[in-house]
Structure 1
Amino acid sequence: MATHLPTTSVADIVRLGPVIPVLAFETAEQGEHVSRALYAGGVKVLEITLRTAAGLDAIQRASRIAPDIAVGVGTITKPEQCALAKQAGAQFGVSPGLTREMHDASIEAGLPLLPGVMTPSDIILAMELGYEIVKFFPAVPAGGIAMLNAFHGPFPTLKFCPTGGITPESATNFLALPNVVCVGGSWLTPKAALAAQDWAEVTRLARAASELSRPVR
């Protein structure tokens, strides 16, 4: 069994790669194949969501692939999911939004959290709770690059991982922003490739994503 990375915070995790794939699997077996294919392409951070029943089992399998892989749980919408994900082997959590109850549950579970924000009020709550890196979701529908530029004025120290509607073509423009540390995306696992079990295609897309440039900060 692989030993988990000694990551202690979301800041450690987002430095591992410019793109965090957002994943939803039909089965745990599919999840393991895809996770291995992504890792073979140089992607070392995975966000496996709880949008399907296979999520927790897929997290457990993916966390055993290699000692330098960081597997997170995505789509946390209930506080109790933090402990369940931690038990399954998740090293961090990602949520579409944030409540104080969810924050407390993540601390109790020992699960570093990347909370979702969309508005200035969301951001102020996150900063009050001590977050320095947040997920901007849904990024493109909520204003995309223009909104992130607008946030930089009143919140100059806050860093973002925009997710939602980002493409391989737009990812570089997001990564060039001074307040963006990485992006989340689902384009690394197209439905056609998964249906055909074309793991080589997943690895190809992962390699291209892992080579995207981002400013050194």
Structure 2
Amino acid sequence: MNQKTTNSIPLPSLQAIMPVVVVDAVDQGLAITNGLLLGGIRQIEITLRTPSALQACEAIARDAPQCLLAVGTVLSVIDMDNAVQAGAQLLISPGLSNRLAEHAHLKSLPWIPGVATATDMMNARDWGYHTLKFFPAMAAGGPSALKALSAPLHDLTFIPTGGIGLADLPAWKALPSVQGVGGSWLTANLQGLNLSEIERTVAERASQALKQWQQA
């Protein structure tokens, strides 16, 4: 298929904070999800970086249907199909390839590709994708870089992800092109905590993140 402009598939409604989560066990994934929900965040991105990821997705889709389930680190067509089968409502990739763009289009899959350069952004736009993951956000130049890159591409919106922490939220929110941010800080350093402690810790961080964003 020759690359051409297409209509991207409508995305589910998203909150401003997308927790990016690496899960080592299914029960850990459920505890993190419950913590996010208690803290007011109703979405989660489970990355395909561990053997437990897809099983955790299945459990979250089954036991926490009120949480929007995104699956990240989607690198291949097989990843896309497996994620959907596991219950994903949204697919997220660190980059953009024509093969993934074509597959998502042909199968009507809600997909957010990753971009880091003007060329990436224009390629995504040609395919009809207008909500993009700016990744790796801080290493790619942070808010000042995205401000410059997005200026001539005013019809695109971004979810910066990568290296972002709580203190960075105001700078990102100040950009009109930013819809929200993704981050792993909400679930960092949970090793050694039991499930109840994980749930409580994540709930506190989720609540704090939403408050920081709202007040920025």
How far off is 1:109 after superposition? 4.2
Q: Compute the RMSD of aligned alpha carbons.
A: 1.6
SS in 2 for 1:13: coil
**1:114 paired residue number:** 112
**2:3 paired residue number:** none
102-111 or 143-152: bigger deviation = 102-111
In structure 1, the gaps of 5 or more residues are 1-7
SS in 2 for 1:122: helix
Q: Which structure carries more relative contact order (alpha carbon 8 Å, separation 6+)?
A: 2
C-alpha deviations, 1:107-163, integer Å up to 9, x for none? 344430010000111011100000111000000000111111102321111100000
2:78 partner amino acid: E
Structural mapping, 1:66-215, within 5 Å: 66-191=64-189, 193-197=190-194, 198=197, 199-213=199-213
SS in 2 for 1:22: strand
SS in 2 for 1:213: helix
Q: d(CA) in 1 for partners of 2:144 and 2:184?
A: 22
Q: d(CA) in 2 for partners of 1:70 and 1:111?
A: 15
1:196 partner amino acid: L
Q: How many residues align?
A: 204
How far off is 1:209 after superposition? 1.6
Give the TM-score of the pair, scaled to structure 2.
Answer: 0.89
- Does the aligned pair in 2 maintain the 1:160–1:181 contact within 8 Å? yes
Identity %: 36
1:211 partner amino acid: K
1:76 partner amino acid: V
- Does the aligned pair in 2 maintain the 1:18–1:209 contact within 8 Å? no
SS in 1 for 2:45: strand
1:205 partner amino acid: R
Q: Which runs of 4+ in 1 moved over 6 A?
A: none
Q: d(CA) in 2 for partners of 1:183 and 1:64?
A: 26
